[in-house]
Amino acid sequence: MSAFLKTALRNKSFATGFVITCVVVLMAAISFVWTPYDVTDLDIGSKLKAPGWAHWFGTDHFGRDIFSMIMVGARNSIAVALVAVIIGVGFGVPLGCWAAARGGLLDEALMRGNDVIFAFPALLSAVMITAVFGPGAINAIIAIGIFNIPVFARLARGAALSLWPRDFIMAARAAGKTKTRITIEHIVPNMANLLIVQATIAFALGIIQEAGLAYVGLGTQPPLPSWGKMLNEAQTMMSFAPHMAIIPGLAIVITVLGLNLLGDGLRDVLDPRLTRKRD
C-alpha cells in the first residue's frame, strides 16, 4: 500500500486531490472532538461578522462561527455522499455482475430497470420521499444512493461483459468453477480499478447533490449545520454578508475538486497500460 502511494503521489492530480481530501476528512474527524466554537451556540451580539481573527470565516445571522459550521458540515456531506456511494456499489455492482453473468432476459430486465431509475434524478426521488415521509438527512442518502445504483450497475455490467469472453475466464470455467465463483475470483478484481475511479466521482457528485437537496430543504434539517443549508440561509443576507454564501460554496467546490482530481489521478495511476511495468 505504501509502495502504491509512493508511486501514485508522483501523479500531480492524485497528489493534489489526495491532500485536499485528507484535509477535508481530517476536518470532519476533528469536529467530533473539537471545534473553535460550539455550532449550537447562538451569539446574537457577534452576528454577521466578516471573516477576521476571532472568527476566521466570520459568523452567520445568529452569531454562529462559520468555520465551526463548515467543519461539522463536512461530516454531514461526507457521511451522506459516502453512504450513497456504498448503496450504489453495494446494489449496483452485484446487479451488474449478475446481469452480465446470466445474460438473456434477466439481463434485459435488469437493464430496463436501470433505465427507469435513470429517469429519476436524485432531486425527484428526494421530492417524493420527502413528500411522503417528511424531511430528513436520510432522504438525501436514499435519493442519491438510488440514483447511484444504475450508474454502478451499468459500469459493472459493461466491464463484466468485456471480461467474460476472455480466455482466462474460459479457463476458469473449464476448471469447473461456478459463475458466482468466477465473478468473485476473476471478474470483480479485474474491474476494481474502474469501480474505484467511479466511486470517487460518485462521491464528489454526491456532495454536490447533497448540498443541493439541503439547500432546497430536502436534506439535513437544522440545527445540524450542512453546507447546502448554510447557502440557503445566506441567500437573504447576500447584500450585506456575502461571506456567508461564499465560504460554504468554496468548501463544496474545494472538496469536490479534490475528489475529482483524486479520481482522475487514480484513473491514470491504476491504468494497467501504464502499470504493466510496475513491480
Partner 1 sequence: MLAINKLNLTIGDTPILKDISLTIEPGKILGIVGESGSGKSMTALSAMQLLPEGSSTSGSIQFNGHELLDADDALMQDLRGDDIAMIFQEPMTALNPVHTIGDQIAEGIMLHEGADKGAALARTEGLLERVGLPVSRFPLSRYPHELSGGQRQRVMIAMACAQRPDLLIADEPTTALDVTLQAQILDLLRDLVEEQNMGLILISHDLAVVAEMTDEIIVMRNGEIVDQGKTEDILHHTHHPYTAQLAEASTHIPVRSQPPVLSHNAQEAGLAPLIKAQKLVRDYPTKRESLFKPGTPFRAVDHVDVTVYPGQTMGLVGESGCGKSTLARMLLALDTPTSGSIQFNDIELTTATDEQLTTARKNIQVVFQDPYSSFNPRHKVERLVAEPLYLETGLSEAEKRDRVVAALEEVHLPASALDKYPHQFSGGQRQRLAIARALITRPALIIADEPVSALDVSIRAQVLDLLTELRQRLGLAYIFISHDLSVVRALCDEVLVMEAGRIVEHGVASDIFDNPKSDAAKMLVQATPNLERALNNRRAAQKQ
Partner 2 sequence: MILFLVRKTLWAAVTLAVASVLVFAALEIVPGDPAQVMLGINATDEAIAALREDLGLNKPVLERYFSWVFGMLQGDFGKSYTYSVPVNELVADRVTISLPLALLSLLISTAIAIPVGLYAAARRGSLADTGIMALSQVGIAIPNFWFALLLVYFLAIWLQLVPAGGFPGWEAGFFTALKSLLLPAISLALPQAAILSRVTRSALLETLGEDYVRTARAKGLSRRSTIWKHALRNAMIPVLTILGLQFAYLLAGTIIIENVFYLPGLGRLVFQAISLRDLIVVESVVMMLVGTIIVINLLVDLAYLWVDPRLRHRRS
The contact set with partner 2 (CB under 8 A) reads 112-113, 115-116, 118-124, 127-133, 204, 208, 211-212, 215-218, 231, 234-235, 238-239, 242, 245-246, 248-249, 252-254, 256-257, 260-261, 264
Output 51 or 113, the one with its CB closest to partner 2. 113
User: Residues 203, 81: contact at Cβ < 8 Å?
Assistant: yes
Q: Which amino acid is at 41?
A: D
CA atoms within 13 A on the CB side of 8: 21
CA atoms within 13 A on the CB side of 121: 6
CA–CA dist 195, 165 (Å, integer): 20
In DSSP terms, which residues pair with 59 in a beta bridge? Answer: 65
CB of residue 106 to partner 1, shortest distance in Å = 16
Output 182 or 210, the one with its CB closest to partner 2. 210
Select the binding partner of residue 32 from partner 2, partner 1, none (C-beta < 5 to 8 A, by kind).
none
Contact residues: partner 1, CB under 8 A: 166-168, 170-177, 185-186, 189-190, 272, 276, 279
Select the binding partner of residue 208 from partner 1, partner 2, none (C-beta < 5 to 8 A, by kind).
partner 2
* Cα–Cα nearest to 141, from 90, 213, 70, 190: 213
Cis peptide before 165 (omega within 30 of 0): no
Select the binding partner of residue 177 from partner 2, partner 1, none (C-beta < 5 to 8 A, by kind).
partner 1
CB of residue 11 to partner 2, shortest distance in Å = 14
In DSSP terms, which residues pair with 65 in a beta bridge? Answer: 59
